[in-house]
Amino acid sequence: MSDEQAETGDSASAGADHAPERDIAFDMARRSLWVFPAWVVVSGFIWGMGGALSSTLGYVLVIGNLAAAAALMAWGARTSPVALMGATLGGFIVRLAVLAGIVLGASQLSFFEPVPIAITIVASHLGLLGWEIRYVSLRLAAPGLDLQRPGKEQK
């Protein structure tokens, strides 16, 4: 407990700043870092510089989408169950529309290649969410909820 919490007697706020949603999104982004550079190189070889740039844009959109989802769910969880449900469903619809708008806007750019950006967005979302589900279910806790951080041995 920090000095400020001890003075105010507010021990409940110690966990209020911790957002497991943010930790899960960060964990997914961290896991994607070893695949992403290889995919950009492959896209560059197949579709040229436009493919590499489109894959990079797709990756940025996926990580931004995951971060936005985590931020919305963390806000909703702090606010109320109704806010959490609204942020989750409404946030999904809004984020999907924003994602589509950005891709449609980028399609007007000279470097845009539709196939690599589509593969990047779909495969990254499915792959990262599938990996995280597998990882969380094996540990029975999210990275932000586990008492032991990844890489530390259990005692």
Domain assignments of the chain as residue spans, ordered by start = 19-137
CA distances (Å), origin 32, targets 1, 12, 26, 66, 113: 34, 34, 10, 12, 21
Q: What is the pLDDT of residues 118-140, one digit of tens each?
A: 999 999 989 888 887 776 666 65
User: Is residue 108 a contact partner of residue 57, using CB atoms and an 8 Å limit?
Assistant: no
Q: 21-25, 28-32, 110-114, 132-136 — which one is most confidently predicted on average?
A: 110-114
The identity of residue 11, as a single letter, is S
Confidence at 59, pLDDT banded by 50, 70, 90:
very high
Question: Could you tell me if 78 and 17 are in contact, meaning their C-beta atoms sit under 8 angstroms apart?
Answer: no
Global pTM reads 0.74
Q: What are the structure tokens assigned to 3, written together?
A: 């000095």
Structure tokens that stand for 143 in this block: 């990275």
pLDDT band at residue 4, thresholds of 50, 70 and 90?
very low
Query: Can you read off the two tokens belonging to residue 104?
Result: 């449609």
What pLDDT, in 10s, does the model give residues 34-43?
889 999 999 9
Gap between the Cα atoms of 155 and 108, Å rounded: 56
Q: What is the mean pLDDT of residues 101-105?
A: 96
